[in-house]
Amino acid sequence: MLQDRGAGKARAVAVSIEDRRTARWHDTVATLGPGHIQYLAGKRFREYSLAELGQFQVITDVVGAFSYTRYLSRFMEHVLGSLEVKGTLYTLLQDVRSEEGTSRPFYPGASFLTELTSPNGSALKVCSWLKSIACVEVTCEAKPEFPPPIEVYRIRKVCAAVSVPGLELTHFQAGTPPERRFRLVSPASR
């Protein structure tokens, strides 16, 4: 996550369950001075209040919380709440039904790692769900050359009245990343 602190000065915040800082990280922090890089560890992203995190212009999540959470809609609400208007989230998912619908599960006979369904049980693409979030602009790009294939998402917050359609977890099997199934819930049942 990056936060602008004036011309030529940026603030970077890393969030991780585990403290993975190395000697090189500490050396880099020492050269930049206080307040430029912060490392938050020991809690899940959703456990940090918006006051603790601040507001950011750019957030990246590469095979992080977006790929692992059991609470996908709550994660999106929290991360979009941490973005400034006109801020952008960059993230991805491995082995997912692509926007074009041409992808197949990476492992023969297996399902996609992340699957969404509508309330009636029909398949819903992650990209379509992201595009249904109020106050965001979304681009989705399939990268079939990666093993397993990935879909990359650019989510730009365009106004403050973000509204994320709710998803209910219906299946979770641990893995790296896990196998997850979500069903879209109607607003009345949230």
Phi first, then psi: what are they for 24, rounded to 5°?
A: -60, -40
For residue 6, is pLDDT > 50?
Answer: no
**Residue 188's pLDDT is what?**
52
The residue type at 131: K
**Residue 37's pLDDT is what?**
86
Strands 83-94 and 150-157, by their bridges, are antiparallel
> Where does the pLDDT of residue 4 fall: very low under 50, low under 70, confident under 90, or very high at 90 and above?
very low
For residue 189, is pLDDT > 60?
Answer: no
**Residue 5's pLDDT is what?**
43
**Torsion angle of C-alpha atoms 60, 117, 77, 155, degrees rounded to 10:** 40
Phi first, then psi: what are they for 22, rounded to 5°?
A: -115, 175
Residue-wise pLDDT for 171-187, tens only, equals: 999 999 999 999 999 76
**Residue 177's pLDDT is what?**
93
Residue-wise pLDDT for 110-156, tens only, equals: 999 999 999 999 999 999 999 999 999 999 999 999 999 999 999 99
The residue type at 58: V
Cα 2 to Cα 82: distance, rounded to the nearest angstrom: 11
For residue 49, is pLDDT > 80?
Answer: yes
Residue-wise pLDDT for 25-37, tens only, equals: 888 888 887 788 8
16 CB-near residues (< 8 Å, 6+ apart): 39, 40, 41
Contact 131, 139 (CB under 8 A): no
Helix (H/G/I), strand (E/B), else coil: 24: helix
Residue-wise pLDDT for 52-99, tens only, equals: 888 999 999 988 899 999 999 999 999 999 999 999 999 999 999 999
Cα 74 to Cα 45: distance, rounded to the nearest angstrom: 11
Q: Where are the alpha helices (H) located in 98-185, listed in sequence order?
A: 126-131
The residue type at 80: L
CA-wise closest residue to 94 among 68, 75, 118: 68
**Residue 7's pLDDT is what?**
42
